[in-house]
A and B are shown apart, each in its own frame.
Chain A
Amino acid sequence: MAININGINISSTGTSLSVANGATTWLGVSSGGVVTRPQTPYMRAVLSGQGSFYRALTVTFGSVISNVGSCWNNSTGIWTCPVAGYYLVTMGGLASGSGQGVTGYGYFYIFKNGSIAHFSHWNNATSWDYCSLSAVLSCAANDTINFRIISGPADNSGSGGWYGGGDHGQFGIALVT
C-alpha cells in the first residue's frame, strides 16, 4: 500500500516504511523501528599532502572523502547548511610541540557564519599533541560552518601547526538525526 502526498510516496513493504521521491528514498523506518535518512548532508575530509605544520585561517583539505549533498566547498573551505537543523561538527589532529623546533602552541576553531562558535588551545613543550574539538551547532538554512587552525598568537604568526600529511587530521560535519 502507498500513499501519495503531492508526489511524495509513503509506502510499506512488509513491515517497513519508506518516504521516497521517485526512486530516491528520503526516510526509512525498518521493521524494528530503526530510522534512516540516506540523504543526510554529511562531509568527511582529511589533511593530506599539506605539509608537516599545517595552519590556515580557513582550513581546506587535501582529500575530501565524502560530501553527501555537496554542502562542503573545498575551494573556499566553507560548509553551507542546506536546511535548518542541528549539525555535528568534529575536528581532530596532531599538533606541533616546541621540541620540534617550531611554535609549540596554537588555537583551533569551529566558526559559524564567520564568528567563533567554539575553540580550544594546545600548548606542548615536547613533541606532538593530539587535539580534538567537537560541537553541535544549531543552524538556519544557508548558515555557514568552517574550521581554523592557527599557530602562535591570534595573528597566526607561529611556525607550527597540525600534521598535514598521511591523513592524520580528521574533520567531519553532519546533520544530526
Chain B
Amino acid sequence: MGLDISGSTILAAGSGLTINSGFSINASGYAAPTNLPGYSGYRSGGSLYYSTGSGWIINGTSWNSIALNTSTGVFTCPVAGFYAVGFNGIAIGYGTEISYGYAGFGKNGALSYYIHWNLADGNAWQQSGGSSVFNCAVNDTLSFYINQSPSPAATAAITNNRGWYPDNHHAVWCILIG
C-alpha cells in the first residue's frame, strides 16, 4: 500500500516507509537518505605540505559520492543546498620566520573562512582544524586550500614546504545537509 503523487511515491517498507526510494524511515523511526552528495577523505602519501593548483588533492577517500574529483581535490555540488565541511590535521612551521600558516575551504575559488596557526617554535607541530557550512548553487565548487591563494599565501612556508602533514594524517570532508 502506498501513495503516488504525480510519480513521487510514499510506500510502506516493512514497518517503515520509503519516499521516492531515496529516503527511508525504518520501524524505529530512524529516517535517513540513502544517496547524499559528499565525501570523507585525505591526502594519501606524498610529501607536499601545502596545496597547489585547484586545492589540496584529496586522493584517498573512505567514501565519495563521485562529486569529488580525486585528481584535483575539487568537489562539484550536484544540487543546490547547504553543504557542511570539516577539516582536521597537524601543521608544522619552519624556523622562527615561518612559524605560521593558513587553511580553509573556498567556494568557486574564493575563500570564505580560514584558520590560522602560529607556532612559538617554528619546528614544532600543532593540531589545527575547522568547520563551516556553505550555501551552494548547482555546479558550485568547494576546494580545500593550505598556504595557497585564495587563502593567505604564506610564501616562505611554500618555499620551505611547510603546512599540513600529508600521508593520511588528517581528515577532510563535505556533505549536503539540507
Report A's interface with B, CB cutoff 8 A. 3, 5-8, 10, 19, 21, 24-27, 35, 37-41, 69, 82-86, 88, 95, 105, 110, 112, 117-126, 129-138, 175-177
Q: Which of A7, A69, A112, A133 contacts B30 (CB 8 A)?
A: A69
Which range holds the interface residue count of chain B? 35 or more
Query: Which B residues from 40 to 97 make CB contacts under 8 A with A?
Result: 40, 42, 62-63, 86, 88-90
Contact between A40 and B31, CB atoms less than 8 A apart: yes
User: Could you tell me if A5 and B171 are in contact, using CB atoms closer than 8 angstroms?
Assistant: no
Cβ distance B79 to chain A, nearest Cβ, rounded Å: 14
Query: How many angstroms from the CA of A7 to the CA of B29 in the assembled complex?
Result: 13
A52 to B86, CA, bound (A): 28
Whether B28 lies near A69 (C-beta < 8 A) is: yes
Chain B, residues 144-178, CB within 8 Å of chain A (1/0): the string is: 00000000000000000000010011110101011
In the bound complex, what is the Cα–Cα distance between A112 and B63 (angstroms)?
Answer: 12
Does B15 belong to the interface (CB within 8 Å)?
yes
Nearest A-chain residue to B42, judged by Cβ: A118
List, in ascending order, chain A residues with CB within 8 A of B90's CB. 120-123
Out of A84, A86, A133, A176, name the residue touching B171 (CB < 8 Å): A133
Q: Looking across the interface, which residue of chain B has its beta carbon closest to that of A41?
A: B30
* Residue pair B127, A95 in contact (C-beta under 8 Å): yes
CA distance A90 to B11 in the complex (A): 34
B162 → A minimal CB distance (Å): 14
Q: Report B91 CB to chain A, min CB distance, Å.
A: 11
